């Protein structure tokens, strides 16, 4: 009797994990945060893209924060959290979320970081960081990154 209860409990646990889409803290499939925040040009997006000006900041930010908390091993959720922070007017928090996604090799995060650092015209170091992020995005298949590299590189080629 005891063995059958353990067997049923184990089966229920496995079923719950499978149904949740969870695999070692990583989400597999389409999550609500994907529907609210996916970038139209992201080759790894899981849902139709949403232009930045169509994002509903409050709802998107809440769902993105929950997704990152629940599935911390899913790089795209950090990227989508960054988009939610941008839409909410919090660029510093967005940069932090993009850095987390970039550490996990999410290429669109590199692209967004490249854009952020390229806008910091006052610092040569920022431009060098922008080039590195644009190059990582280009290597990851983001076509727009090549165009950005063409704009930034001629001024900073001698500094690497």
For residue 36, the domain's CATH number is 1.25.40
pLDDT tens for each residue of 49-77: 999 999 999 999 999 999 999 999 999 99
Q: How far apart are CA 27 and CA 18, in angstroms?
A: 10
Q: Has residue 143 been placed in a domain? A: yes
What integer pLDDT is reported at residue 108 of this predicted model?
A: 97
Query: Cβ neighbours of residue 131 under 8 Å, at least 6 residues apart?
Result: 114, 149, 152, 153, 156, 160
What integer pLDDT is reported at residue 50 of this predicted model?
A: 97
If we measure between CA atoms, which residue out of 16, 15, 54 comes closest to residue 36? 54
Report the share of the chain in percent with pLDDT over 90: 66
What integer pLDDT is reported at residue 22 of this predicted model?
A: 44
- Same structural domain, 90 and 144: no
What integer pLDDT is reported at residue 155 of this predicted model?
A: 61
Of 104, 133, 150, the residue at which a domain comes to its end is 104
Residue segments in the chain with a per-residue pLDDT below the cut of 70:
1-25, 121-122, 154-160
Range of the domain at 52: 27-104
Q: Has residue 4 been placed in a domain? A: no
Q: How far apart are CA 91 and CA 5, in angstroms?
A: 51
Q: Has residue 149 been placed in a domain? A: yes
């Amino acid at each position: 009797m005891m063995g059958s209860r353990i067997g049923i409990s184990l089966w229920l646990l496995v079923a719950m994990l499978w149904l949740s889409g969870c695999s070692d803290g990583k989400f597999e499939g389409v999550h609500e945060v994907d529907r609210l925040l996916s970038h139209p040009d992201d080759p790894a997006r899981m849902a139709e893209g949403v232009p930045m000006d169509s994002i509903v900041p409050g709802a998107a930010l809440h769902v993105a924060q929950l997704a990152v908390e629940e599935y911390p091993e899913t790089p795209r959720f950090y990227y989508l959290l960054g988009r939610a922070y941008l839409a909410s007017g919090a660029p510093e928090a967005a940069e932090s979320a993009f850095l987390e996604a970039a550490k996990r090799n999410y290429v669109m995060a590199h692209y967004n970081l490249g854009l952020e650092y390229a806008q910091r015209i006052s610092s040569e170091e920022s431009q060098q960081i922008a080039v590195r992020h644009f190059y990582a995005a280009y290597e990851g298949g983001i076509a727009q990154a090549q165009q950005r590299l063409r704009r930034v590189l001629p001024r900073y080629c001698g500094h690497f």
